Each structure stands twice: as C-alpha cells, then as structure tokens.
Amino acid sequence: MNLASKILAIKLKEETMSVPEWDAIIGIREMNVEQRLRFAEDAKKWPAVAMVRLLITCAFDPETGKPLFEQAHHDSLLQQPGAVVDRIVTEICRISGLGTAESEAAEKN
C-alpha cells in the first residue's frame, strides 16, 4: 500500500457518550473536511441550524453504526433542550479538533 492509499484509508474518529436526558448512549463521529466547513459557515448565519445539522451528520447508533437522526428529524431536534444539544455538539467539536473558542463562536453567532 502506498502512502496516499494509507492516508486515505484512515477512518474518522468515533466515540460513544452518555446522554442521560435521553436515557441513551450515542455514538459521535468526527467531522470530515466538508462537514467542518459547512458547520463553520452555517454557524455564522444560523447557529441553531448548524448545531442540529451537526447532530444529524455526526451522531450515530453505536449498536448499528447507522445515523441516529435523519433530515426529517431537523425541526424536532430544534425543539430539544439546548443544553443537551450543546453538550453533544461540544463533544463532536472536540473530537473534530475544534477548540472551545470555535464552538463558543458558533453558539454566539
């Protein structure tokens, strides 16, 4: 395997986290480059939408590996407690290499 193939075969980081408010353990996946850029752009204009899109994109069922949410859940996710969504998004940002300054900026915008 050449170096390029080795680099391109690297998988995104994944972790599980407890969400007591949902009585669930969920999987979270690091953002890829495209998702990270979209999150940064969305956060400037529509921070709540950016957070929900990130949940739809990066949260998964750890038992199946399948996405936890679909685009059809977007409006319902906007009605979830902000502290819960914020905590999950903060963890996704952490494993994606975004510091707290970036995630705080996303919340403020």
Contact 30, 58 (CB under 8 A): yes
- Residue 69 forms part of a structural domain: yes
Range of the domain at 93: 12-108
Inter-CA distances, 73 with 5, 51, 69, 77, 80, Å: 36, 13, 6, 6, 11
Instruction: Check: CB of residue 56 under 8 Å from CB of residue 77.
Output: yes
Domains identified in the chain, total number: 1
What are the tens digits of pLDDT across the range 80-103?
999 999 999 999 999 999 875 544
3 domain-assigned: no
In a domain, 52, yes or no: yes
Q: How far is CA 93 from CA 4, 63, 98, in A?
A: 26, 22, 5
pTM confidence score: 0.85
- Interacting residues of 37 by C-beta distance below 8 A, sequence separation 6+: none
Q: What three-state secondary structure class fits 2?
A: coil
Structural domain includes residue 91 = yes
Q: Give me the CATH number covering residue 56.
A: 3.30.2220.20
Question: Among candidates 26, 33, 31, which has minimal Cα distance to 12?
Answer: 31
pLDDT tens for the chain, 109 residues long, are: 899 999 999 999 999 999 999 999 999 999 999 999 999 999 999 999 999 999 999 999 999 999 999 999 999 999 999 999 999 999 999 999 987 554 455 555 4
The answer to whether residue 5 sits within a structural domain is no
Residue 1 lies in a domain: no
